[in-house]
Amino acid sequence: MKQKNIFFSKVSKIIILVAFDIIALLAAFLLALLAIRILVVTTFTAGAVLKFLLVTIGFKIIWFYIFGLYKIVTRYIGLIDSVRAFFAVVSANALIYIHLLINHVDSVYLSVVLLATPIEFLNILVPRFFERLYEYFKSTIRHKRIGLKRTVIIGAGAAGRIVLEEINANVNLSNRVVCFVDDNPEKQNKYILGIPIVGSLDDLEKVIIEYHVQEAIFAIRELDEYRQKEIIERLTALEVSIKKLNLISEINDTQKAQIIDFNIEDLLNREAVVLENSGIKDFIKDEIVLITGGGGSIGSELVRQVAKYQPKAIIIFDFYENNAYEIQMEIERHMKKGMFERFELHVIIGSVYNKERVYEVFKTYRPTIVFHAAAYKHVPLMESNSKEAIRTNVIGTHYVVDAAIECDVKKFVLVSSDKAVRPTNVMGATKRFAELIISNADKVSKTKFSAVRFGNVLGSNGSVIPLFRKQIDEGGPVTVTDERITRYFMTIKEAVSLILQSAVYAKGGEIFVLDMGEPVKILDLARKMIRLKNLIPDKNIKIEITGLRPGEKLYEELLIDVTKNNHTSTEHPKIYIENASEDIRNLPIDELVQTIETMNNDDVRSMLKEIIKTYQISNS
């Protein structure tokens, strides 16, 4: 129904423009004819004039359509569209003039065509500016309202103009643009639609104070990431809210502006990951890829990225139906749009702890590559639900590994965690247990088993970013467990890209470790997120220190320490291989399966401590 309404709206606009053009052409002809009759004594028959009008106006309407005059978005009409209209009018009349000359038509008609040309151009153009003029006057009136945010647009190029036009036209935006800044000295001290370009990006502090700016909108697409981060930090220090331009393509191939918030991810200054795409494509192409936990944060991103490399099939195996359904719908939409080549997509609902279901999936679909991302990852919850951590993270991994061996899977990659390094909580200890299962399996099978270990993922379910965002939206307080606490962060896309690259490198038995960069202080992260919303920490939004939770560390272990020579580098600068660590051959899996139902949380911790020698039971 919505698409139908859009279609009729477009058709009605074209009909209105055609009607205006017919009136404009008729008026131009009559004015030119009247002028000729005043200057030259001549006679016209009504029939001849009517025939001439019908033929020429009909031809010109078709000609204007060919020139795209009825595809112009009149709300944004500008110089280029005006030039197109000029050439459409001139070329149409030139063709008519040549036709009249060849056919030796009365020279008076030639004079009428010449005289009518400039009048037609003006008559055609003026109605097309009506909507733009209307929007301009509407925005002028709107800007006189009290309460609009005084706004500076960073960037006075095409993108900056798009932002200004969107603000002027969109009554739902509460902005009033007062100035632009741009580093191009040739643009400074000039105007865009009446708004001055008042200086460079280095002048931002001065401009913000002088023009009483409350909000800044980034409209520079090619701005260096480090430069952008530096500008954002300057703006947040001045208590100015920050937004950015996001261009989205519409059905008619035009671009519509969206003015959106910056994400905290934009401030962490993570370098773009460079991948060996040809190697990943060779690894994935024509393979049947099973992704356990395929509806989760990491799992769903694995599905998205694997889909780009022409797999034969992807099997999403997840316990949560809603998550699995969402990624299924997304991938199917993208396939319909031709964003990547079609492949078989299967969604299987089930738990990795259900041995029969796991074997059924493997025997039915015969996967050749497995990414095992299904796991419980929430530290405090697993402290109080330790048996569930064992069932899924340990026994579930054991079942998936055994099924992979039986079905001759080529490569198996475990998605692990930095919390497996000298764990202080049940979740970390179970992930280390899973790594040992993988290591042992690699020694006794043809399947190449490996694990990839990394830290916190920005925006994933259970991470602090969504929690802080929700707390800020609700007016606070924002809760931080300890003012000293730090964490390593990586974006979901970055983590998954490096998982795929590690899988290419895997020869069997490796624990790959990803370079997480510098640790981030969680308290600073909270303050930055509050300032991004144009709020002041501890004034508009309170920050509460709540104390460390059970199993939580102040500082995560440094995954890669070059001073200790505990890792080997790979071809990729962000991927390392952990050198040989503890080797436990006889893991009591069968015994664990038999006794898990009778264990309590303390029993689980004691059992884990016996197996994982580096596990330190937390007293929190």
Instruction: Extract the tokens encoding 282.
Output: 């060779």
Whether the CB-CB separation of 559 and 516 falls below 8 Å is answered with: yes
Q: For residues 327 and 251, give the distance between their C-alpha atoms in angstroms, rounded to a whole number.
A: 23
Catalytic residue among 187, 419, 493, 574: 419
Pairing of strands 567-569, 575-578: antiparallel
**Helix (H) or strand (E) run with residue 371 in it:** strand 369-372
Nearest-angstrom CA–CA distance, 255 and 548: 48
Write phi, then psi, for 347 (nearest 5 degrees): -115, 120
The upper half-sphere exposure of residue 20, i.e. CA atoms within 13 Å in the direction of its Cβ, equals 19
Say which residue the tokens 């459409």 belong to.
Answer: 88
Separation between Cα atoms, residue 370 and residue 356, nearest integer Å: 18
Of 85, 75, 84, which is closest to residue 256 (Cα–Cα)? 75
Q: How far is CA 188 from CA 192, 217, 525, in A?
A: 11, 18, 35
Q: Where are the alpha helices (DSSP H) in 461-572?
A: 464-473, 492-505, 522-532
User: To 10 degrees, what angle do helices 79-102 and 107-128 make?
Assistant: 160
CB atoms within 10 A of CB 507: 10
Q: What does the chain come to in residues?
A: 620
Return d(Cα 62, Cα 65) in angstroms, integer: 5
Phi first, then psi, for residue 215 (nearest 5°) are: -145, 145
Counting DSSP H helices and E strands in the chain, the numbers are 21, 22
Comparing C-alpha atoms, which of 271, 428, 434 is closest to residue 352? Answer: 434
- Per DSSP, what are the bridge partners of residue 177? 151
* Structure-block tokens of residue 506: 């895997």
Catalytic annotation on 419? yes
DSSP 3-state of 255 = strand
* H or E element that contains 413: strand 411-415
Rounded to an integer, what is the distance from CA 202 to the centroid of its chain?
A: 29
User: Who's near 487: CB < 8 A, 6+ residues apart?
Assistant: 455, 456, 464, 519, 520, 522, 556
Strand, helix or coil for residue 554: coil
Q: Which amino acids are annotated catalytic? A: 419
